[in-house]
Structure 1
């Protein structure tokens, strides 16, 4: 240490800042392996009238987690099938009561619908807690703090305002919901952070909307002019118009199918490239062209095999999405500290599954 007022040079050496190392996510699942799990889950769920679906969910999720690796370690899922089954039974009863209420009286049905919508943000909040608490990496569990008030703002108030404003607030609502999910999530005692702006979400939405609009306009221009020619021939007008209409709708569907992977790619890259875990920065490099190729070939495979290609399609899509994400780790990934977290609600998990919500991180 240099003494006070000394003219001698200091011998203290400042440690250089840690350079981040790129840790890639890998997915080792195979379609042939997952097909066995998928077909057994499907058959047993049918035979047991849906009772086995809770065990099917746990088997499926554990397979996905076990085959998702980061820095030579895989993730783990700890969900209890019995807890999920209880939640699903309650969820089925609630949804059945809603349907019966609508049959008895439109007023009762509307009241039941309002009650379910009013409960939905709370269920989403509890489902986040359940999913993250039952997920772990290297023996440390994830967690979700949050609170019901924030959930009601993000998943009830903002969606209602988006509808009232004819979708103008939809990108803002999307950004706020992702910010809420990521910033309230944590790994052990280390919190995630999220810094993507609402403006970046508006940019992604506008790009996708502009490309979609250009494509739809070209389709309508081409088929509109051709339709005028067809209608000019009275003998074949009806037949030609029907053929043109069918071809036009096919082109619209095909163009929409190309826009969807573009939007999904932009949103995933936007979300994960602006997410951190402590000082560790995530990055996503999903390519639209490859995502579109996977989605189109998956659709063809499922159609040709009458659905039997579904597990292979799921593995292909999941593998690409997982392996497009990397983590720029600043320091060791072994320095996280475990923390106690709320268990959440299996009932919420059951309802989210029945309504086909993807609430996973």
Structure 2
């Protein structure tokens, strides 16, 4: 089959346009005590999806705000029950936590279904074909390995979850496939540990080496307390720099090992560019007291999206639409409430 030229994704959103959407969403969400947040999510996604272009066509978002609100209310009930039992009975609070953990994989499964079902490209919808049994394996059973192995199994658990997500995704009748191995994820986490842990250790050593000799026992304790505070602050600052780098490496790893039938993807995010965007975004948000947030989000999304290209083998028009079932939004609302990022 003839290979065509790579099709790089384009992102046409602007900070000014999104700021207008963002400020209206924020004000209406505050006025309605959070109820409008579901409609705010739909407006935001519709703008970002329609601004994302691949091979001359844009994506579309079809989410229903009422359905999302119902999902959020259901999730809020679980959180509310836990909050009430926490003050009345530790035992009941523990039972509530167990109940929340028991339904979390189901929420994630429904969220994946909802997000893909409500995304379309060239009139063809995506869908998620994974079953709830595998959701419990990936998000309840395997995570226990991370605990019993003191975190050594985290890359394995992460790889299996990503493989399940991508291998279960469909575009019409076309299947996505994921071929990154467990070893690739261990290399990723090894680099993260080297940069994150090594950098934090150097920062700690540097801060501790700056201290002067204390004059007495009170001066000694005060100095050590000040150094500990500086170490904690440096740790937070270092995390906010290292995390975007991790997401950079993760995006490259995931999309460089993902394909849609015979069509492959490529991601070429660069560390230097990501660091520059991250640092300047943080500084601008601080200097504007948060008003730069929508501009920062557009800048970050533009770089992440435009770093991805499709390497087509033949025509995308050969993909046929598959029958679509209605998918509830319960999981999507819960994923938002619990801040679960399943997009990568």
Which TM-score bucket, shorter chain as reference?
A: over 0.9
Matched, 1:100 2:100: no
* Equivalent position of 2:119 in the other structure: 135
Deviations 1:225-262, CA, capped at 9 Å, x for gaps:
444x4236779656655554444444433333332222
Calculate the TM-score normalised by the size of structure 1: 0.90
Higher alpha-carbon Rg: 1
2:75 to 84, 88, 91: 91
How far apart, CA to CA, are the structure 2 residues paired with 1:358 and 1:208? 19
Say which SS state the counterpart of residue 321 (structure 2) adopts: coil
* Equivalent position of 2:14 in the other structure: 30
How far apart, CA to CA, are the structure 1 residues paired with 2:181 and 2:123? 33
How far apart, CA to CA, are the structure 2 residues paired with 1:126 and 1:283? 28
Matched, 1:327 2:327: no
2:128 to 144, 156, 174: 144
CA contact (8 A) 1:231 1:241 kept: no
Q: Alignment RMSD, CA only?
A: 1.9
> Structure 2 vs 1, CA of residues 174 and 235 (structure 1 numbering), >3 Å: closer, same or farther?
closer
* Equivalent position of 2:3 in the other structure: 19
1:59 to 7, 26, 43: 43
* Equivalent position of 1:173 in the other structure: 157
Deviations 1:81-130, CA, capped at 9 Å, x for gaps:
11112222222222212222222211111111111101111111111111
Matched, 1:359 2:336: no
* Equivalent position of 1:274 in the other structure: 257
2:143 to 133, 155, 159: 159
Deviations 1:133-185, CA, capped at 9 Å, x for gaps:
00000000000011111000101111121122111000000000100000000
> Structure 2 vs 1, CA of residues 91 and 240 (structure 1 numbering), >3 Å: closer, same or farther?
closer
CA contact (8 A) 1:129 1:144 kept: yes
- Once the two structures are TM-superposed, the CA of residue 217 in structure 1 deviates from its matched residue by 2.8
Say which SS state the counterpart of residue 231 (structure 1) adopts: coil
Matched, 1:311 2:294: yes
Within 5 Å, which residues of 2 pair with 1:122-271?
122-227=106-211, 229-231=212-214, 237=220, 241=224, 243-271=226-254
How far apart, CA to CA, are the structure 1 residues paired with 2:168 and 2:80? 33
How far apart, CA to CA, are the structure 1 residues paired with 2:181 and 2:268? 19
How far apart, CA to CA, are the structure 1 residues paired with 2:140 and 2:297? 31
> Structure 2 vs 1, CA of residues 188 and 249 (structure 1 numbering), >3 Å: closer, same or farther?
same
Matched, 1:110 2:87: no
- Once the two structures are TM-superposed, the CA of residue 348 in structure 1 deviates from its matched residue by 1.3
Calculate the TM-score normalised by the size of structure 2: 0.94
- Once the two structures are TM-superposed, the CA of residue 321 in structure 1 deviates from its matched residue by 0.3
* Equivalent position of 1:121 in the other structure: 105
CA contact (8 A) 2:208 2:227 kept: no
- Once the two structures are TM-superposed, the CA of residue 224 in structure 1 deviates from its matched residue by 3.5
**Greater displacement, 285-294 / 215-224:** 215-224
Q: Which runs of 5+ in 2 are unaligned?
A: none
How far apart, CA to CA, are the structure 2 residues paired with 1:279 and 1:127? 27
How far apart, CA to CA, are the structure 2 residues paired with 1:345 and 1:230? 64
Deviations 1:39-68, CA, capped at 9 Å, x for gaps:
000101111111111111100000000000
Residue correspondences, number: 344
How far apart, CA to CA, are the structure 2 residues paired with 1:249 and 1:87? 37
> Structure 2 vs 1, CA of residues 109 and 246 (structure 1 numbering), >3 Å: closer, same or farther?
closer
> Structure 2 vs 1, CA of residues 225 and 42 (structure 1 numbering), >3 Å: closer, same or farther?
closer
How far apart, CA to CA, are the structure 2 residues paired with 1:298 and 1:246? 25
How far apart, CA to CA, are the structure 2 residues paired with 1:262 and 1:246? 25
Q: Which runs of 5+ in 1 are unaligned?
A: 1-16
1:48 to 27, 32, 36: 32
How far apart, CA to CA, are the structure 2 residues paired with 1:64 and 1:126? 22
How far apart, CA to CA, are the structure 1 residues paired with 2:34 and 2:234? 38
